Amino acid sequence: MHYGFDGKVALVTGAGGGIGRATALGFAASGAAVVVSDVNIEGGEATVQQIEAAGGRAIFASCNVAKRSEVKALVARTVEAFGRLDFAHNNAGINNLGADEYEDEAWDRSLGINLSGVMYCMREEAEVMLTQGKGAIVNTASINGLVGNGQQPAYTATKHGVIGLTRHGALRWARQGIRVNAVCPGVIETPMTAPLVADPRMRDVISGMTPMGRMGQAEEIAAAVLWLCSDQASFVTGHPLVIDGGATAT
205: pLDDT strictly greater than 70: yes
Clarify whether 155 is annotated catalytic.
yes
pLDDT in tens, 89-113: 999 999 887 778 888 899 999 999 9
- Check residue 203 and give its pLDDT: 77
- Check residue 194 and give its pLDDT: 67
DSSP the chain: -----TT-EEEEESTTSHHHHHHHHHHHHTT-EEEEEES-HHHHHHHHHHHHHTT--EEEEE--TTSHHHHHHHHHHHHHHHS---EEEE------TTS-TTSHHHHHHHIIIIIIHHHHHHHHHHHHHHHHT-EEEEEE--GGGTS--TT-HHHHHHHHHHHHHHHHHHHHTGGGTEEEEEEEE-SEESTTTGGGGSSHHHHHHHHHTSTTSS-EEHHHHHHHHHHHHSGGGTT--S-EEEESTTGGG-
Average pLDDT estimate for 34-57: 98
Q: Which of 3, 102, 120, 155 is catalytic?
A: 155
- Check residue 220 and give its pLDDT: 98
207: pLDDT strictly greater than 90: no
**CATH pick for 9-190+218-243 out of 2.115.10.20, 3.40.50.300, 3.40.50.720, 3.20.20.150:** 3.40.50.720
* Model confidence, pTM: 0.95
- Check residue 192 and give its pLDDT: 73
- Check residue 200 and give its pLDDT: 76
195: pLDDT strictly greater than 80: no
pLDDT in tens, 116-144: 999 999 999 999 999 999 999 999 999 99
- Check residue 201 and give its pLDDT: 76
- Check residue 130 and give its pLDDT: 98
User: How do the domains of the chain map onto residue ranges?
Assistant: 9-190+218-243
- Check residue 229 and give its pLDDT: 98
Lowest average pLDDT, out of 105-109, 192-196, 236-240, goes to 192-196
